[in-house]
Structure 1
Amino acid sequence: MNSKKKFAVVLAGSGVYDGSEIHEATLALYSISKNGGSYQIFAPNVNQYHVINHITGEEMSETRNVLVEAARIARGNIKDLKEFSADEFDAILFPGGFGVAKNLCTFAFAGAECEVNPDVASAIKAMHKAKKPIGALCISPALIAKVLGDVEVTIGEDEGTAEAISKMGATHVTTTHGEIVFDKENKIVTTPCYMLDATIAQIGDGADNVVKTIMAL
């Protein structure tokens, strides 16, 4: 047990409305480190779907790259998701944020009919095939459901999203703050985070519960 559990953490940009949710990402990284693990951050090298002004909520007329933006959260220590190898990691974790549903897949626009970025899909499939744990926060469980189909996940209580998850062949379990759903057979651990009206402390609890459950595997 002396070897550190190594997590791959996949980001979708920087900022809740067009990238990764920064509180979820940061608190997940904190939890991994606090619980004795290590991590490498990844993101796909693609353009964001769009850029949002986080004060007004309005779209801005500029283009940003998901990998470049996610590097802000990673403090520059980040790799292109194309370089990901399941052999090198014990677990993979996806924080939430609208970027997951806009940049990693098209769930924000197409719901159950969404398409998934090929590098994201292959990373999830490789970890699942290797029987290694997959963690997902907030909206990210929808991504896992799309790629793997018959799995058990939670996004909290939002009926529309839960319905879309069911349409993708997955089972949705309703949860509240800090609660996790652990699909033992598929080694998938999910929690709702900001899919609920949450405080930053509740986000930390949810992220920590996911990480601890994965560590115990």
Structure 2
Amino acid sequence: MHVVDHLKGSPSEGKRNVLVESARLARGNIQDLAELKVGEFDAVIFPGGFGVAKNLCSWAVEGKNCTVNDLVKSTLEAFHNAKKPIGLCCISPVLAAKVFPGCEVTVGYSKNVDGRFPDAETAAAIEELGCKHICKDVNEAHIDSANKIVTTCAFMCKAPLHQIFDGIGTMVAEVLKLA
């Protein structure tokens, strides 16, 4: 979709390439998701953010009626079928809600507690998709043991960066325990 100027909080001109941006952020060797071989990995973790809501699926525009990118969906299904853990943070738990009906995920709280969860309606949309939303604070993760899905709310909560960091760290640690 469009590029967002996060300094101004509004769309900006230009286009970005997901692979180029991934390489910039990861500072290293990345490859196209189409080349992923599930057998070579113990787990998969999807970050969140506008990129997920606009490019990996259409949640930003269509909400619970969104579609999930075919490669993303097949990757999630392949890890799930191989009984390998899946980690999802920020908005990316909606990917699991769309792909795995009945799963359990968290995007924080289902109510805007103290103004910290401005996107709390996402929890209700997850429930409407037939999944169970588990309320968790920013420094926590939820483990859906049956599906080997670990989620944390990250930037779905307005919190200090160190608390978001702690929650993502907890999610990663739990994914590694399941691997």
Same fold (TM over 0.5): yes
Q: Which runs of 5+ in 1 are unaligned?
A: 1-48
Task: Please tell me whether residue 90 in structure 1 is matched to residue 42 in structure 2.
Answer: yes
Aligned-residue offset at 1:61? 2.3
Percent of pairs identical after alignment? Answer: 51
Aligned-residue offset at 1:121? 0.5
Distance 2:138 2:120 in 1: 16
Alignment of 1:1-150 (within 5 A): 49-150=1-102
Counterpart in the other structure of 1:185: 146
Aligned-residue offset at 1:96? 1.2
Selected match of 2:158 from 197, 201, 206: 197
Distance 1:148 1:199 in 2: 31
Give TM-score, length-normalised by structure 1. 0.75
Which SS does the other structure have where 1:201 is aligned? Answer: helix
Q: Does the Cα contact within 8 Å between 1:101 and 1:143 map onto a contact in 2?
A: no
Selected match of 2:170 from 209, 212, 215: 209
Richer in strand (by share): 1
- Runs of 4+ off more than 2 Å: none
Selected match of 1:152 from 78, 90, 104: 104
Which SS does the other structure have where 1:169 is aligned? Answer: coil
Which SS does the other structure have where 1:174 is aligned? Answer: coil
Q: Does the Cα contact within 8 Å between 1:156 and 1:175 map onto a contact in 2?
A: yes
Residues 125-157 of structure 1 deviation map (CA, whole Å, 9 limit, x = unaligned):
000000100001111101111111210000002
Counterpart in the other structure of 1:12: none
Q: Which runs of 5+ in 2 are unaligned?
A: 110-118
Which SS does the other structure have where 1:145 is aligned? Answer: helix
User: Aligned partner of 1:167: which letter?
Assistant: E
Selected match of 1:161 from 122, 127, 131: 122
Task: Please tell me whether residue 171 in structure 1 is matched to residue 123 in structure 2.
Answer: no
Number of aligned residue pairs: 169
Which SS does the other structure have where 2:143 is aligned? Answer: strand
